[in-house]
Amino acid sequence: MISFKKLLGKEEKFYDLLEASAEEARLSTELLAKILKDDNAGGSTNVHGIVHTRRKDKRITQQITEELCKTFVTPFEREDIEALSLALYRIPKTVEKLVERLAICPARIPRESMQRQIVLLVEAVDAVDFMVKQLRKGTQVDRIKDANNRLQFAEGEADKVMLALVKDLYNGPYDAKEVVILMELYDLVETAVDRARDAGQVVFQIMLKYS
């Protein structure tokens, strides 16, 4: 016999899962910031933490997919839930890829320059985390708009930092191999910021639909 209670489900579970995913994204960027500041054994612990965070977020994403298949009524359109879930997962996935490159990087890593990027990445993901947590409240339109403005500002500043870093690569004392390696690292940080922007856009669009 079909359980209508199971089909209808509880709206709260999707909010819980999306918030958990956003939290893992936020945690991964904070661990990345610690790695760039820590050049000793502690960095290894943070690397393992990022891998664990990405795997945990993958399980959350899979659980969201499973719950969507089992639930008839969702708090908002299932396409939006899927889009937000995927956008959030891509943040720690990109961060993990960056950390993998850092671990094998033979080039001189300009930590101070990269930290400028990472600070903006953390700010962007913090804004996304806040926006996701406002969804269940429904009426917090102004708060989501303010957080989206912070996110857009962080992305704009990150673009400026990226341009400055590329200029330094073109004019600095780097050989060709170092330029290629460092450009990939900078690009990965920029991609992570873009992932945060994408997730924020999904939240903002959901807010516009239901406000």
For residues 100 and 47, what is the distance between their CA atoms, to the nearest angstrom?
A: 8
Q: Determine, yes or no, domain membership for 1.
A: no
Q: Determine, yes or no, domain membership for 110.
A: yes
**Averaged pLDDT of the chain:** 88
Give the per-residue pLDDT at 60.
97
Give the per-residue pLDDT at 83.
96
Residue type, 119: V
Q: Determine, yes or no, domain membership for 44.
A: yes
Give the per-residue pLDDT at 10.
54
Give the per-residue pLDDT at 183.
93
Question: Domain span at residue 28?
Answer: 7-210
For residues 183 and 42, what is the distance between their CA atoms, to the nearest angstrom?
A: 26
Residue type, 123: E
**For residue 90, is pLDDT > 70?**
yes
**For residue 2, is pLDDT > 90?**
no
pTM, two decimal places: 0.89
Q: Determine, yes or no, domain membership for 169.
A: yes
The residue with greater pLDDT, 153 or 105, is: 153
Number of domains in the chain: 1
For residues 158 and 140, what is the distance between their CA atoms, to the nearest angstrom?
A: 27
Q: Determine, yes or no, domain membership for 2.
A: no
Question: pLDDT tens digit string along 93-146?
Answer: 999 999 999 888 866 777 777 889 999 999 999 999 999 999 988 767 889 999
Q: Determine, yes or no, domain membership for 117.
A: yes
**For residue 179, is pLDDT > 70?**
yes
Give the per-residue pLDDT at 1.
31
CATH number, domain at 92?
1.20.58.220
Whether the Cβ atoms of residue 33 and residue 118 lie closer than 8 Å to each other = yes
Compute the half-sphere exposure of residue 149: CA atoms within 13 Å on the CB side of its CA: 6
